[in-house]
Amino acid sequence: MTMPLGEDEADRTRRGSGIEHPEELPPAGGPIAVARTFAFIDLSGFTAYIEEHGVADAVEILALFRLRASEVAARRGVRVAKWLGDGAMLVGVQSGPTVAAVAEMMARVNQLELRIRAGVAAGGVILFQGDDYIGRTVNIAARLCDVAEPGNMLATADVADTAPPWVSRRPAPPVLLRGVGEVTGVCSLFVADDVTLPPVPLART
């Protein structure tokens, strides 16, 4: 016969299951502390591409970029939180799938005429009004993207440690990020040379 849980143990079990009493939850729409992984990606040289090839060609490239990013993110369980013109902000609950998503996006989109650069970081942030993330982690990911070379993903050390086996890594020197300061332990991540991605139609329509 199953013995009833003691009051303390029952409380711990309830809290761990995510089914707290309503009075224990923060107000709806209020700030909530959460842990997330953030990735910022953008198409390097997109403005110059517009000037060289014209708006029509640039829009086609941008549409393909968004399509591929959306497809890969959905398969990996990562959310495209915001489109940022020729870039995007991605949010994942876990770092491994987020790194995998960005690496595959880079490998696929880099087959186009432009290349992706990316920055990834993980940590605690404030979730405000359900869809806005505030905190140092977001800033680090955005600034890493700013300093990454075309075709390169820069990630903090803790994020790099979660990369899947098919994503290679190499240490990068400390980087000085605007508004953040010096960040050490940064790694450059990329799809390993021996990885072949399943074909996806990338030709323009």
* 113 occurs within a structural domain: yes
Distances (CA, A) of 82 to 40, 60, 65, 88, 133: 10, 19, 14, 6, 11
C-alpha to C-alpha distance for 186 and 195, rounded to whole angstroms: 23
List per-residue pLDDT tens for the chain, 205 residues long: 444 445 555 554 454 455 777 777 666 656 788 899 999 999 988 899 899 999 999 999 899 889 989 999 999 999 999 999 899 999 999 999 999 999 999 988 776 778 899 999 999 999 887 778 999 999 999 999 999 999 899 999 999 999 999 999 999 888 888 888 888 889 999 888 888 777 765 444 3
* 84 occurs within a structural domain: yes
* 51 occurs within a structural domain: yes
Q: Is 120 exposed, middle or buried (0-12, 13-18, 19+ CB in 10 A)?
A: buried
Range of the domain at 42: 30-191
Q: Which residue matches tokens 């303390």?
A: 8
* 186 occurs within a structural domain: yes
C-alpha to C-alpha distance for 83 and 95, rounded to whole angstroms: 20
* CATH number of 109's domain: 3.30.70.1230
| CA Rg value for the chain | 20
* 198 occurs within a structural domain: no
53-80 pLDDT, tens digit each: 999 999 998 998 899 899 999 999 999 9
Distances (CA, A) of 95 to 20, 47, 100, 120: 26, 30, 9, 9
* 97 occurs within a structural domain: yes
* 202 occurs within a structural domain: no
C-alpha to C-alpha distance for 128 and 131, rounded to whole angstroms: 6
* 200 occurs within a structural domain: no
The total of structural domains in the chain comes to 1
